[in-house]
Amino acid sequence: MPVRTLYLVQDGQLGFDSMPRKLIKVTPSRLGVWNDCRRRFRMAYVDRPTPPRGGPWAHSTMGAVVHNALKALFDLPVERRTPDSAAALVGTHWKDDGFADPKQAAEFRGRAAGWVHDYVKETDVTDDPVGLERWVSAPVGTIVAEGRVDRIDQRAGELVIVDYKTGRHALSTDDARGSQALALYVLAARRTLRRPCTRVELHHLPTGTVAAWDHTEDSLARHLTRAEEAADEFQLAIDTHKAGGDPEVLFPPNPGRQCSWCDFRRNCAEGQAAGPAIDPWAMLSP
């Protein structure tokens, strides 16, 4: 654990200018929000009580349903892990939150069921994963890297981090390589489960494609360094705010097109001025 520099006091005794630094807890969502908009970070993670958020988003509802259906599928005996069972589980877990009306919700429920059906049809689901929606947390460097992993497989004695995606665009190897979230999951899974892990995969259900990357120690170190730098920044801002610092200076807004779908838009004049709000179903695939 990092320690502050020693100094020499007048009586000739050595001492510390502070206690050992406390490790900073880091999740991919915290890092993402900090890098996206610091005012949103303050509202989400610092302000208490938390300001009211906006309503549900249809694309988020759809993604959550797909995740829950696939988790439930692996809870079934192997002989029942069929494409039809997977599609039926979408209906079991379905919600209409964020959709324009029941007709639109039904259309996308059918679309999601088709995605999951085809995914299971083309994927070997006979092996039990090491983890499903598994929380991993471990000290790494100056942070505690943690988060919930969609699925952790074991293949040829090594762990593989699997992340389900349901967005409108297909993903590439660069997306897998550049994902800080997946890199942090690798680092945390290694320590939590005590097994080697280098491979990450993005499973894009709408296109049935898999974008994969095999990390090296150097690539993981680069992701870790960026995470440590961001963690130092947001922890300093939090500590300064607690000491009486101006929140508007410490957590400035970052107006842009992302303000149109920000959950805290109603509490941010700059965000409202950046552009009109979009409908809760606007980010669904066409």
pLDDT digits (tens, 9 = 90+) for 89-99: 999 999 999 99
Handedness of CA 96, 97, 103, 109 (dihedral sign): negative
Q: Give the global pTM.
A: 0.90
Residue 77: φ, ψ to 5°: -60, 155
Query: Would the pLDDT of 232 be above 90?
Result: yes
Q: What is the pLDDT of residues 233-266, one digit of tens each?
A: 999 999 999 999 999 999 999 999 999 999 999 9
Q: What is the pLDDT of residues 152-185, one digit of tens each?
A: 999 999 999 999 999 999 999 999 999 999 999 9
Residue with tokens 């589980």: 89
Q: E strand or H helix at 132, and its extent?
A: strand 131-140
**What domains appear along the chain, each with residue ranges and CATH number?**
58-122 (no CATH), 131-223 (3.90.320.10)
d(CA 219, CA 210): 20
Give 119's contacts (C-beta < 8 A, 6+ positions apart): 70, 86, 203, 205, 208
Q: How confident is the model at residue 20 (pLDDT cuts 50, 70, 90)?
A: low
- For 257, the token pair is 């097109």
